[in-house]
Amino acid sequence: MSEQIEFLWRQLPNLLWGFPNNRPGGLLLSILLSASAIAVGLGLAVGLAFGRHSRLRLVRVTAGRVVWTLRGIPLIVLLVLLFQFLGTGAFFGIEFSAFWSAFTTLTLYAAAYQADVLYAGIAAVPQQLRDDARLLGATPTAVARTVTLPYSLRTMRPALTTQAITIFKDSSVVVVLGVTDLTTNARIALGGNVANAPYWVSVYLLVGFLYWCVAFGIARIAERRIEHRPRPIASAYV
């Protein structure tokens, strides 16, 4: 028991923020990687979601196909496939490192899922609201920017939070490229050493607990914020 605790204590910094020669890593890198992928992905998702509502058939179909393709391929396949292209410099002649390739893939993956949520969110904006804004003299672009987008982001906030948590958990798959996130560091900490066999259960319990803390924590904070906040747009609309 005591050697279990000692082993975990020794590995805890490696799991939390990476091995000394490779920081940031571990849980910190998992959070940074998924948070930035979610943020950049949200930007792309806005484009894709509006694209799917576009009046131009070509734009609509293309955006729909992109989302469908990215959503239909498992993240692990997507990671390996894009690394095959990006890592060898097949695109733009730049050789992406495993980390940047993983970041790009995760961003696209996040964008597709968030675009799906936002697509529904945009569809849920009352036509009346948009018509009113148009009557007040706003251009269609201004309506999209000041009415449709904020409204859909607000109504879809719970769904987007759930999606963000999912992407955070799915980011564990980057282990396939050897990006030193939490999962990879757990594997490195245990290594191929047979002497470490007794520690597998405790290390993975700890890793699972760390993922759980972040995922459950975000869910709880989001829940509380939504409970305490009245729906602002609805009141503005009345």
Chain residues that interact with other proteins, rule: CB under 8 A:
69, 72-78, 80-81, 84-85, 165, 169-170, 172-173, 175, 183, 197-198, 200-201, 203-205, 207-208, 211-212, 215-216, 219
What is the smallest separation between the CB atom of 180 and other proteins, expressed in angstroms? 15
Nearer of residues 97 and 146 to other proteins, judged by Cβ: 97
What is the smallest separation between the CB atom of 77 and other proteins, expressed in angstroms? 5
Peptide bond into 24 cis (omega under 30): yes
What is the smallest separation between the CB atom of 23 and other proteins, expressed in angstroms? 22
What is the smallest separation between the CB atom of 44 and other proteins, expressed in angstroms? 19
What is the smallest separation between the CB atom of 52 and other proteins, expressed in angstroms? 17
Among 120, 209, 124, residue whose Cα is nearest residue 160: 120
Nearer of residues 91 and 237 to other proteins, judged by Cβ: 91
Alpha-carbon distances, residue 209 vs 13, 21, 167 (angstroms): 15, 25, 17
26: left (phi over 0), alpha (psi -120 to 50) or beta: left
Nearer of residues 148 and 184 to other proteins, judged by Cβ: 184
Nearer of residues 42 and 78 to other proteins, judged by Cβ: 78
Where do the H-state alpha helices sit in the chain?
A: 2-17, 26-52, 57-72, 75-86, 98-123, 127-135, 140-143, 149-155, 157-170, 182-190, 200-228, 232-237
Nearer of residues 59 and 219 to other proteins, judged by Cβ: 219
Spatial separation of the C-alpha atoms in residues 116 and 31, rounded to whole Å: 23
